[in-house]
Amino acid sequence: MSIPNNDENQESETLVPQILKVSENIFHAIGISIPPEWLTSDMTVAQLRVLLLLHTEGQSRMSSIAVTLGIAVSTATGIIDNLVKKGLVARSADTGDRRVVICALSPQGQEIINRIWAQGQLQMENLLRGLSIEQLEKAKEVAEFLLHNAQSRSIHSSKITN
């Protein structure tokens, strides 16, 4: 991968916002498809953020959850307590240090994340349907570019923010 020169940097500064605007327009065109059970769910945004964090990071210490989400450990503990009561998170003590609390998605919590993922996949599939083979090949190429860039920049390790 080559280092961009000044002209490429300037062009990138112009193109990136344009691409983001097109992405925003796509989002508005397809609309938000929220599963009905989410509209009647008693799950809070904070609880959903914890589920997503545990899905992406795997089992985590209570203190790591708090730091990653930028909240106090006591706040994280309250959120986890509610998720444990709902059967979405399992909590255990670290075998090496009983004071350390380890949290992980329960099978029911993983199922919720799987449904969210499936909904997104369905929206993407519907967006791709109707494109020509040539357009699909270009879309695949762009997706591969994005994957390569994500892998090389370790985007996966970025934190979930407020």
Residue 78 CB neighbours (<10 A): 13
Nearest to 89 by CA among 122, 130, 54: 54
Distance CA 49, CA 124 (A): 22
pLDDT at 36: 65
Q: Which pTM does this prediction carry?
A: 0.69
pLDDT at 131: 93
Cβ neighbours for 44, distance < 8 A, ≥ 6 positions apart: 79, 82
Note whether 128 and 138 are within 8 A (CB).
Answer: no
Distance CA 147, CA 83 (A): 32
Distance CA 65, CA 76 (A): 7
**Local confidence pLDDT in tens for the 162 residues of the chain:** 556 677 778 888 888 888 889 888 887 887 766 666 666 678 888 999 999 999 999 999 999 999 999 999 999 999 999 999 999 999 988 788 878 889 999 999 999 888 888 888 888 898 899 899 999 999 999 999 998 988 888 655 444 444
Q: Please name the amino acid found at residue 11.
A: E
The domains of the chain, with CATH numbers, are 18-130 (1.10.10.10)
pLDDT at 160: 46
pLDDT at 30: 77
Distance CA 26, CA 32 (A): 11
pLDDT at 34: 66
Distance CA 123, CA 33 (A): 8
Note whether 122 and 79 are within 8 A (CB).
Answer: no
